[in-house]
A and B are shown apart, each in its own frame.
Chain A
């Protein structure tokens, strides 16, 4: 399975944008890029996913490099509630495979 590399931790100020990077240099053409986050004492929560084009939803934006070897999750205005561990995951949809392979993620701290 293709791996991802993320910084262990990042800090942000409340109401400022946050850019969370992810490197995935061995990504294959059929891998989707998924982001999940896990708030303290909760199960992971889906954030966003994409294949080639940039994606936006109500939670965040996903910017994917043209060569797909890296991506960035963008939180437009961080709130205290966004403090969580963010996981960047590559997921293949072929056959019966469907499980997520989590790394250690990036722990985001948000300062008031």
Chain B
């Protein structure tokens, strides 16, 4: 078991560009979560998948954000027309039951 992996680990982009992040959960976990964390704050929930179904979306997830989990395995989070306020750590977590296992995150910097 290699744990939850995320790619890339760091991304620097210019304002207005689109970015896509990937999350590979622990293989037998059917639940997958995306969170966003800014400096000095705890992570904030963005969205939740059970298998391939997106069951919950936070109000933080504006129309510029979209997430998919096409085959119930890996997931992608896309941000269109990035803004400086999107600069944050994007965390992915997976779970089977009670505990959520987090990946190392993707740090996004929008210049």
Q: Which A positions have Cβ atoms within 8 angstroms of B?
A: 32, 34, 36, 42-46, 49, 85, 87, 96-105
- Which residue of A49, A98, A100 contacts B43 across the interface (Cβ within 8 Å)? A100
Q: Which B positions have Cβ atoms within 8 angstroms of A?
A: 4, 31, 33, 35, 40-45, 48, 50, 55-56, 58, 91, 93, 95, 98-105
B98:A43 contact, CB within 8 angstroms: no
B109 → A minimal CB distance (Å): 15
Residue of A45, A85, A97, A98 with highest tally of chain B CB at under 10 A: A98
A-B contact count (CB 8 A): 55
Query: Contacts A44-B91, A97-B56 hold; do A103 and B104 have CB atoms under 8 A apart?
Result: no
Residues of A within 8 Å of B4, CB to CB, are 43
> What separation, in Å, do the CA atoms of A105 and B91 have in the docked complex?
17
